[in-house]
Amino acid sequence: MKNYLYYLTFWIVATTFLSSCQPKEIQNMETRELNSNWTYRQVNGSVSGTATVPGTIHTDLLVNKQIEDPFYRINEKSQQWIDKEDWEYTTVFQLSEKEIEKQNLILDFKGLDTYADVYVNDSLFLQADNMFREWEIDIKNVAKVGENQVRIYFHSPIAKGLELLKASPYVYPANNDQSENGGLGDQKVSVFTRKAGYHYGWDWGPRFVTSGVWRPINLKIWDALRIKDVFIQQTSVKKEEAQLLADFSLEANEAFSGEVLLTDKSTGKVMLSKQVDVEKGSTLISIPFTITNPKLWWSNGLGAPNLYQFEAKVIKDNEIVTNYEFSTGLRSLKLIREKDEAGESFYFELNGVAVFAKGANYIPNDNFLPRVSQADYEKVIADAKDANMNMLRVWGGGIYENDIFYDLCDKNGILVWQDFMFACSMYPGNEKMLNSIKEEAKDNVIRLRNHPSIALWCGNNEMNTAWSYFSKDGWGWKELYTEEQREEIQKAYMDIFHGILPDAVSKYTDGDAYWPSSPQAGFAVEKHAGYETSSGDMHYWGVWHGLHPFEDFDKYKARFMSEYGFQSFPDFETVKKYTLPEDYNIESEVMASHQRSGIGNLRIKEYMSWDYKVPADFEQFLYMSHVLQARGIKAAIEAHRRAMPYCMGTLYWQINDCWPVASWSSTDYYHKWKAMHYMVRKAYQSVLLSAFANEGQLKIYGVSDLLESKNAKLSLRLVNFEGKLLFEKEIAVDLVANASRVLYDSSIETLLGDYDKNAVVLQMELKTDGKLIADNKYYFAKPKELLLPKANVEVQIVENEGKYIVEVSTDKLVRDLYLNFKDSDLKCSDNYFDLLPGEKRTLELSGSDIPKPSALQLMHLQQITE
């Protein structure tokens, strides 16, 4: 009994002592989102209703049934009045006596779109004028116990833009501003407003110039001190050790002494601890620390995207005064631009490894940004990862994306080429504009700099090559101005893209790469990109705009291909969502409205006629546009990958859409994969087999992103369309790590012998240790020249443990086979593929619907009739 009492007493004393040594957590910072009780009203009219925040005026009008679906048919045309009006949003929120007594009462506006006067209890606190900025206001002096009102007056962005246009000595070029669709004639006002350029229209998007609270408003209440930000500078990151510097940005109401800690949340390990003295106001404290044998962050395909979850704390008198949680990944990431025999390299080096960038350009997922859900973001990043991508370019005519986008890129190993938000225009360089841009850059660089996925900050999209100040080339812009005006516009360009933006990257990051404009043939402003650049990046639009054939993708290659593409229409299932049957003609008013490239329809038809039969049937034409697009982009990606290490990146235009439309996307507005996305997934695999013919010779390349070389076997089989084996060969080859090499070289005449080139296909397979790691097919003639037999395709749907499998086989070669379950969300694990006689393909179905055989539709090339 005595022993029991002794141990009990010891336990009580020990635990009391230990608990007294642990800092006590206090709830210092209270944050709540002001997202309820909002209403809106038309300032100079009678329209009003209940509002959703975050939201836009267009979506509020839609929810309140005051407008029809903006994307349906041609509703866009009748809704251009909305952006000419002023709108007022109002809410009330409660404050308790305890909250009022706090030292700091802050309203944090994460995003206001765009000209917004903010009143709190009828006092004007803010006049916002930049959609891309975050704004904080201190409402302590007007806050009261009980009900408090927030009122936001949104001025018409068009009225404001017209005022600025009128005050400007000249107009500015803005090719994609659809001012005519907005009822403004040739008055292009988008350049005067720091707002998403695509809201004013683009050659793939509608014109909906929104207003509203587009990101959350947070009420922040605290005493004494807060951690506003923590940045982990990665001074040196190697596999043995990461040398880091933690920058703590603190804000204090009075001088303060305490302890700063940084903890690894996953292990509980304290990474650093230091006693600090904090001055009243803002203080930056930098503390070095190291992590031995760090778990490095890798891009998709090279390794795990390891992340560290950190928590920063400030402790005083054994109490946690404030804390801040964030994550980052440890990696060494550089843009390598070095002189070589060809010119200057342009590639990304991750943890010492040269990375061939495989990916796409990315635009906002909707014209009405607040309705892009977490599920939408998860889907588009999953689509990128599932297609073996390792990079997305956030294009400069959209937005600096929401945090979740970069979080998902971090978690999935997707590198981000981040444009600043300038595209295809020239911009004023007055003091107010430059100051606004400076604050915009600061806000967004600081917000995003901890994300390991950020690979590059790029000043703008296509402005340098369009303006071409030091060249006779360009888009004809500079010829519109006097010499004095040119100098003014050029100075504004230099101030922004060779001054403000690189300065922000240099000041607020730990050495992130900056590139002035995409495309550009070198860092200097006079380095205008062209079709034969040997340095920098390239936008190749000879295919499409220049009517170059697909074969020219092999002729025009640069060190990094950051844009190229080819259009297709949406899938028929998507088209049915915004049309009526009487619209089922690509030249109908509705279909034309959902095609924003003026040359689009005729361009698709012309290219199709070169390689395929051009069907008269509407649904067949949509299908054929998918097949054509996939064929073109396959040629591009394979050409770029064959050219490594000269070319070290390929980002096609574009992965997604902002509304249902004919465009260059590989997945449509509803995230449905087109033929191109299935093709991209294969073309972006770690190992690629690619055959290319030139002057009667056929070369088969083995391209590998793997970091180890492999001994492999290349199998070649020449087969006719009936399935008969005509020729077979197996060759031992070396698959060289992270390189492109010719594995086989033969004259086409030798390969074909006496066989008809229009009736055979070359099947290529690459195996290591008996395992297939890559395959491809090569046809010796254009699709419309092939003697394709009538094929009998057999399909069986099998259920296995609640999952549905589709088994497909054919008695003759079938090309570009598309399996579609009509009016269903079902998706096949593969689609738009070629199937050889005797080959059986097993496909998994995903989606919530139960597959019905009667709903299954098959389309393939042999069915197409002119």
pLDDT at 525: 85
Mean pLDDT of the region 834-862 = 94
344-627+671-676 architecture in CATH?
Answer: Alpha-Beta Barrel (3.20)
Strand partners, 561: 538, 650
Q: How many CB atoms lie within 10 A of CB 226?
A: 22
**Continuous segment of H or E residues that includes residue 203:** none
Query: Are 34-219 and 687-785 equal in CATH topology?
Result: no
pLDDT at 21: 43
pLDDT at 610: 98
Candidates 249, 255, 252, 259; CA nearest to 227 is: 249
- Angstrom distance (rounded) from CA 544 to CA 567: 8
- Angstrom distance (rounded) from CA 210 to CA 132: 14
DSSP string, 118-186: EEETTEEEEEE-BTT--EEEE-TTT--SEEEEEEEEE--HHHHHHHHHHHSSS---BTT--TTTTT-TT
Candidates 121, 129, 134, 138; CA nearest to 163 is: 129
**Continuous segment of H or E residues that includes residue 640:** helix 618-642
Please, are residues 815 and 798 in contact by the beta-carbon 8 Å criterion?
Answer: no
Strand partners, 217: 109
687-785 architecture in CATH?
Answer: Sandwich (2.60)
Candidates 700, 698, 714; CA nearest to 747 is: 698
Sheet holding 333-336, edge to edge: 333-336, 347-350, 353-355
pLDDT at 26: 53
- Angstrom distance (rounded) from CA 738 to CA 337: 18
Residues 6 or more apart whose Cβ sits within 8 Å of residue 269: 263
- Angstrom distance (rounded) from CA 231 to CA 324: 11
Residue 14 has pLDDT above 80, yes or no: no
Per the listing, tokens 């014109």 go with: 207
pLDDT band at 397 (very low <50, low <70, confident <90, very high): very high
Please, are residues 330 and 291 in contact by the beta-carbon 8 Å criterion?
Answer: yes
Residue 41 has pLDDT above 50, yes or no: yes
Please, are residues 664 and 566 in contact by the beta-carbon 8 Å criterion?
Answer: yes
pLDDT at 800: 85
Mean pLDDT of the region 254-283 = 94
Specify the DSSP class assigned to residue 492.
H
**Continuous segment of H or E residues that includes residue 629:** helix 618-642
CA distances from 306 to 295, 359, 412 (A): 6, 21, 9
pLDDT at 96: 97
Per the listing, tokens 């300032």 go with: 43
How do residues 332-375 score in pLDDT, each as one tens digit? 999 999 999 999 999 999 999 999 999 999 999 999 999 999 99
Classify 795 as helix, strand or coil.
strand
Take residue 460 and report the two structure tokens written for it.
């703008």
Residues 6 or more apart whose Cβ sits within 8 Å of residue 835: 793, 808, 809, 810, 813, 814, 817, 841
Q: Is the dihedral of CA 554, 556, 557, 561 positive or negative?
A: negative
pLDDT band at 27 (very low <50, low <70, confident <90, very high): low
Residue 101 has pLDDT above 70, yes or no: yes
Strand 270-278 to 281-292 pairing: unpaired
pTM of the model: 0.95
Residue 9 has pLDDT above 60, yes or no: no
- Side-chain half-sphere of 621: how many Cα atoms within 13 Å? 21
- Angstrom distance (rounded) from CA 145 to CA 787: 82
Take residue 634 and report the two structure tokens written for it.
């396959």
- Angstrom distance (rounded) from CA 32 to CA 547: 55
pLDDT at 529: 82
Query: Higher model confidence: residue 28 or residue 234?
Result: 234
793-863 architecture in CATH?
Answer: Sandwich (2.60)
Query: Which long-range contacts does 137-142 make (Cβ < 8 Å, 24+ apart)?
Result: 137/106, 137/107, 137/109, 138/104, 138/105, 138/106, 139/105, 139/106, 139/107, 140/103, 140/104, 140/105
CA distances from 176 to 198, 492, 598 (A): 8, 20, 11
DSSP string, 217-259: EEEEEESSEEEEEEEEEEEEE-SSEEEEEEEEEEEESS-EEEE
Please provide the average confidence, as pLDDT, over all residues in the chain: 95
pLDDT at 24: 53
pLDDT at 23: 56
- Angstrom distance (rounded) from CA 446 to CA 370: 22
Residue 507 has pLDDT above 90, yes or no: yes
- Angstrom distance (rounded) from CA 550 to CA 562: 17
- Angstrom distance (rounded) from CA 424 to CA 657: 19
pLDDT at 390: 98
Please, are residues 276 and 257 in contact by the beta-carbon 8 Å criterion?
Answer: yes
How do residues 127-136 score in pLDDT, each as one tens digit? 999 999 999 9
- Angstrom distance (rounded) from CA 466 to CA 424: 7
Mean pLDDT of the region 118-131 = 98
Residue 461 has pLDDT above 80, yes or no: yes
DSSP string, 606-626: HHHHHHS---SSHHHHHHHHH
Q: How many CB atoms lie within 10 A of CB 248?
A: 23
- Angstrom distance (rounded) from CA 83 to CA 208: 8
- Angstrom distance (rounded) from CA 49 to CA 64: 7
Which of 360-380 are b and which e, b meaning 16 or more Cβ less than 10 Å from the residue's Cβ? bbbbbbbbbbbbbeeebbebb
How do residues 535-593 score in pLDDT, each as one tens digit? 999 999 999 999 999 999 999 999 999 999 999 999 999 999 999 999 999 999 999 99
Please, are residues 23 and 319 in contact by the beta-carbon 8 Å criterion?
Answer: yes
- Angstrom distance (rounded) from CA 366 to CA 199: 10
Specify the DSSP class assigned to residue 408.
H
Strand 123-128 to 116-120 pairing: antiparallel
How do residues 702-713 score in pLDDT, each as one tens digit? 999 999 999 999
Strand partners, 247: 231, 286
Per the listing, tokens 């009219």 go with: 45
Residue 77 has pLDDT above 60, yes or no: yes
- Angstrom distance (rounded) from CA 852 to CA 697: 48
Q: Domain locations in the chain?
A: 34-219, 344-627+671-676, 687-785, 793-863
Q: How many CB atoms lie within 10 A of CB 529?
A: 25
Q: Where are the alpha helices (DSSP H) in 674-760?
A: 675-683, 748-752
Q: Please name the amino acid found at residue 204.
A: W
Mean pLDDT of the region 755-769 = 97
Which of 644-665 are b and which e, b meaning 16 or more Cβ less than 10 Å from the residue's Cβ? bebbbbbbbbbbbbbbbbbbbb
What phi and psi, each to the nearest 5 degrees, are found at residue 606? -65, -50
Is CATH 3.40.50.10490 what the domain over 34-219 is classified as, yes or no? Answer: no
Share of the chain above pLDDT 70, in %: 97
If phi > 0 it is left, if psi is from -120 to 50 it is alpha, else beta; for residue 857 that is beta
